[in-house]
Amino acid sequence: MPFKYFGKINFTPYTKVDAFADYLQKGKLMGTKCKKCGEIYFPPKADCIKCMNDKVDWIEFSGKGTLHSYAKIFAAPKGFEDMAPYTIGVVDLKEGGRLLSWLKDISDREIKIGMPVKVVPRIFEEIQEIKLYYTIEKL
Amino acid sequence: MKVGIVGIGHGKFGNRSDATVQELAFEPFKLAIDDAKNLRRENIDALVVGSVPEYHMQRSLPGVVAEYVGMNPKSTWLTEAACASGSAAIRTAYMAIKSGMHDIVAVIGVQKMRELSTAEILALMGRVGDVQWESIFGTTFPGYYALYANRHMFEFGTTREQIGLVALKNHYYGSMNPNAFFQKEITMEKVLKSDDVAYPLKVFDCCANADGAACIIMANETNTKKYTDTPLWFEGLGSASAQMSVLRRPNLVEIPSAIEAAKQAYKQAKVKPSDIQVAEVHDCFTIAEIMAYENLGFCPKGKGGKFIEEKQSYIGGKTPVNVDGGLKAKGHPVGATGVSMATEIVKQLRGDAGKRQVSGAEIGLTHNVGGIGQYTFVHILKR
């Protein structure tokens, strides 16, 4: 269950899209595509909401997209106090779907909704266990 | 066959470290029975409790509440829809009465949010969104509403000051409500100088966790006429859901479940948004009230900021909103909130709201949103 390595804190170690974390560790950002109707999902889903088919393929995402919205969190929940304040962003991905993560190396002044961004797969280096994540960065 | 309200009760909201959850529930239940005419507890067929269970030490809440308020051996159950649990309870009571299964049903919305330790609250707060793809990045309730606020400002030019005006209005009316947590007016300077919570939202943009309870007693048409001289009727009930994950929502400038629930309620009640004379909306954050004006059709999409700037949601404006102080000034004991909203509309339509009365109000609306928009219940009441 590699998915347990996804996130600074992981709440869902068991999932049908377990392979997502394997790919992420290899530097690949993957979504799913319904084998029947072709609907593309990010975050990946094992089951298609649209046609209810339960067979999907993994497809690689470029990580490119535009910033849809953001929020700078000052009051952090448990497990994130050490990082506060941090800015989360929502990205409209080029291939479809959306992603939420932290903005990295973008100053408050530079943040503009609609700006082009890229998603970068990462590993927490300061944490001993393997902890995978991704960041939103300037394109 | 219509469904009406025969009695209402409202406890003090706020820091209630003087009472257990069942003791809180007792207060409005007793008031609601007294408020009805010649109603005895024995006449009530069932008790629906609206609450969010994870905040309480006591598990299986209806059990302890039914015992404490003396409703055994009558039927009781819990409804949960996050912050809309109270309105979900009203909806199930309506169904129970409409089906003919029960004639008179008490609904108690109750929540004790200050029972858990700060560490437990912080852990719960970290799991309000989709835990698989969002909570792992430290999202929070105010964080989600900050995403809505920034996008709303970007798309429609809504200003920081316009958003802050919601807090000013609701604290102004809260100062007239003896059951409110905060009964003091505030200034724009105070809002803008308060601590950052989730940019662009500050402390005074956020409602406060609170303890509290509210109760309404609902009945079929015959019993409503029998147990009150001032009957009020449920004319429209809308209920809808929206994606848990903001990543799968059509946009981040409106709450789709609210738009759908409102449409259903207006249709059933055969009224238009402009017919609503007083409304209670879910202002868990200031931006939420601005989106509510738009989602309920009180103003066009994107014009919510202007609506408050022109004081259209004050008494005397187009649609007075949250004239009891809203969640913002009353505090937000999550399970109690939807029921609290219903009690305020009843007071308004009866003409019993005192200093904050909307004169001659005959049609009122409640809008209760769960979580970050996953659930919305809209109820329309008429005299």
Residue B148 lies in a domain: no
Residues A108, A111: Cα–Cα separation, whole Å:
5
Interface residues of chain A, partner chain B, Cβ below 8 Å: 6-12, 15, 42-43, 68-81, 83-88, 90, 97-102, 113-114, 133
Which one, of B272, B292, B274, B278, lies nearest residue B368 by Cα? Answer: B292
Whether B351 maps to a domain, the answer reads: no
Residue to test with chain A: of B136, B199, B203, B251, most A Cβ within 10 A: B136
Residues near B261 by beta carbon (within 8 Å), at least 6 away in sequence: B238, B239, B240, B367, B376, B377, B378
A28-38 confidence digits (pLDDT tens):
999 999 999 99
Nearest-neighbour CA in chain A from B322: distance (Å): 27
Helix (H) or strand (E) holding B333: none
Is B94 a domain residue?
yes
B362 inside domain: no
Delimit the domains of chain A by residue range. 2-138
The reported pTM is 0.97
Provide DSSP, B218-276: EEEHHHHHHH-SS-EEEEEEEEEE--SSGGGSS-SSS-HHHHHHHHHHHHHHT--GGG-
> Which residue is catalytic, options B10, B83, B206, B284?
B83
Domain assignment present for residue B357? The answer is no
Mean pLDDT value across chain A:
96
Between strands A116-123 and A132-138, the pairing is antiparallel
Average pLDDT (B139-166) is 98
Residues above pLDDT 90, as percent of chain B: 96
Contact B147 A71 (CB under 8 A): yes
With cut-offs at 50, 70 and 90, classify the pLDDT of residue A81: very high
Task: Report pLDDT for A113.
Answer: 98
Cβ-defined contact of A43 to B245 (cutoff 8 Å)? yes
Q: What is the pLDDT of residues B49-84, one digit of tens each?
A: 999 999 999 999 999 999 999 999 999 999 999 999
Residue B247 lies in a domain: no
B83 in catalytic set: yes
Residues of chain B neighbouring A102 (CB-CB closer than 8 A): 137
Cα of B140 to nearest chain A Cα, Å: 7
pLDDT digits (tens, 9 = 90+) for B250-307: 999 999 999 999 999 999 999 999 999 999 999 999 999 999 999 999 999 999 999 9
User: Is B102 annotated in the active site?
Assistant: no
Question: What is the average pLDDT across A8-30?
Answer: 96
User: Could you tell me the residue range of the domain that residue B110 belongs to?
Assistant: 3-117+209-227
CA dihedral B268, B272, B276, B281 (to 10 degrees): 70
In a domain, B221, yes or no: yes
Is the residue at B176 inside a domain? Answer: no
Question: A113 to chain B: which residues are within 8 Å by CB?
Answer: 150-151, 154
- Provide the CATH number for the domain around residue B64: 3.40.47.10
Give, for A63, the enclosing helix (H) or strand (E). none
Q: For the structural domain made of A2-138, what CATH number should be given? A: 2.40.50.840
Confidence band of B123 (pLDDT split at 50, 70, 90)? confident
